[in-house]
């Protein structure tokens, strides 16, 4: 079984709709992240959480919110989706020092906003 899972894997929605993307992990890592990937722009950080009570904005948090329900679960919400939020979304986890500090990614959610 995959260590980091994301649901749904694909989603098509309409402008103005609220949508939630979910991430679960079995790696036992405290740190979790949400990224979006657009062609030519690379991975950009939306939000990150170092533990259940610690949530921080990344470089492109406007229009997004998150919830850390448990150590293993981190959800990303689009309150009112707009077409330029069409992208690939990835969840990641990491194990800070004395761990390797390496990020491990989920399979992604392809989101299309019409």
Contacts of 54 (CB under 8 A, 6+ apart): none
> Which chain residues interact with another protein by CB under 8 A?
4, 40-43, 45, 58, 88, 90, 97, 100-108, 110
What's the CA gap between 70 and 52, in Å, rounded?
Answer: 6
Read off the tokens for 55: 């949530």
Nearer to another protein by Cβ, of 38 and 79: the residue is 38
How far apart are CB 90 and another protein at their closest, in Å?
Answer: 6
Which residues face 112 on adjacent strands?
12
Nearer to another protein by Cβ, of 71 and 104: the residue is 104
How far apart are CB 109 and another protein at their closest, in Å?
Answer: 10
């Amino acid at each position: 079984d995959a260590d980091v899972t994301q649901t749904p894997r694909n989603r098509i929605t309409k402008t103005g709709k609220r949508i939630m993307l979910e991430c679960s992990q079995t790696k036992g890592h405290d740190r979790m992240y949400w990224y979006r990937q657009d062609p030519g722009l690379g991975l950009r950080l939306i939000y990150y959480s170092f533990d259940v009570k610690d949530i921080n904005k990344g470089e492109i948090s406007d229009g997004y919110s998150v919830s850390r329900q448990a150590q293993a679960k981190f959800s990303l919400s689009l309150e009112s989706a707009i077409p330029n939020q069409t992208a690939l979304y990835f969840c990641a986890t990491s194990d800070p020092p004395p761990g390797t500090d390496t990020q491990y990614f989920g399979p992604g959610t392809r989101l299309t906003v019409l």
